[in-house]
Structure 1
Amino acid sequence: MHRWPQVIDVFLRKQMLCVGCQIRPFHTLDDACKEYQLEPKAFRAELAEAVKRREGLGPALPVDVADAP
């Protein structure tokens, strides 16, 4: 979230409490997906899209889904 703040919107849209959570540094994306019953691959893809869509830049940033935040 620090590196790609645009992903915060994805967490908020999913009504995830990860933004501002005190234990967030100790959880992985897979942990969060399990907690919120989300499919990890699809969630990572959504995060990758958010990174690519940086305001006004369009899909200019190449982000591999496996490397998504």
Structure 2
Amino acid sequence: MSELILFTFNAIVIYLLADAVLRWIERRRGAVLEHRQIVFFVIFLGLALVTFSALRHYLGPG
């Protein structure tokens, strides 16, 4: 049960971080990105792959 809470919390943090990174990129660029959803998805996917893999590694198998 605690793993479920940990993974859910991780997903929420990833979502908020991906949004913050996307907004930072748009601020630096000075305009909204044309394919904003795709860029958000790429950022989110990259963070998810890294963090969930790390969590699985630290929590152990099973």
Larger radius of gyration: 2
- TM-score by length of structure 2 reads 0.39
Greater helix share, 1 or 2?
A: 2
- TM-score by length of structure 1 reads 0.36
